[in-house]
Amino acid sequence: MRKSYLPIYYPDFIGHIGVAVLLLYRKRRRGYAYRRIKLDQGYYALVDSEDYDGLNKYNWYRMEKACKGKYYAARIEDRKIITMHRVIMNARAGMVVDHKDGEGLNNTKGNLRLATCSQNNCNRRGFSGRSSKYKGVSRDKRRTKWRATIYNKDKGRNDNLGFFKNEDDAARAYDEAARKYHGEFAWLNFDPGRKDENRPIKTVFRSILGVIADVFRILAGGIAEKLASCGNLLFVISFMLIGACFMRQNQDRRARR
Same domain, residue pair 95 and 157 = no
Cα distance between residue 198 and residue 200, in whole Å: 7
Last residue of a domain, one of 143, 166, 185: 185
Judgement on whether residues 206 and 254 belong to the same structural domain of the protein: yes
70 within 8 A of 61, measured Cβ to Cβ: no
Q: Are 141 and 147 in contact (CB under 8 A)?
A: no
Domain that holds residue 104: 34-115
For residues 144 and 205, state if they share a domain.
Answer: no
Same domain, 81 and 104: yes
Q: Rounded to whole angstroms, how far apart are CA atoms 12 and 231? A: 27
251 with 238, same domain: the answer is yes
Nearest Cα neighbor of 85 from 245, 65, 29, 17 is 65
35 closest CA partner among 256, 250, 249:
249
pLDDT 10s digits, 115-173: 988 888 888 876 655 788 898 899 988 888 999 999 887 777 889 999 999 999 999 99
Count of structural domains within the chain = 3
Out of 62, 87, 115, a domain closes at: 115
Looking at the structure, do residues 52 and 105 belong to the same domain, yes or no? yes
In a domain, 129, yes or no: no
Q: What is the CATH number of the domain that holds 147?
A: 3.30.730.10
105 and 163 together in one domain: no
Per-residue pLDDT of the chain (257 residues; tens, 9 = 90+): 455 555 555 566 566 666 777 777 777 777 788 899 999 989 999 999 999 999 999 999 999 876 666 899 999 999 899 999 999 999 988 889 999 988 899 999 999 999 988 888 888 876 655 788 898 899 988 888 999 999 887 777 889 999 999 999 999 999 999 998 888 888 888 887 665 544 444 455 555 666 566 666 655 555 444 445 555 555 556 656 666 666 666 666 665 55
* 63, 97 Cβ separation under 8 angstroms: no
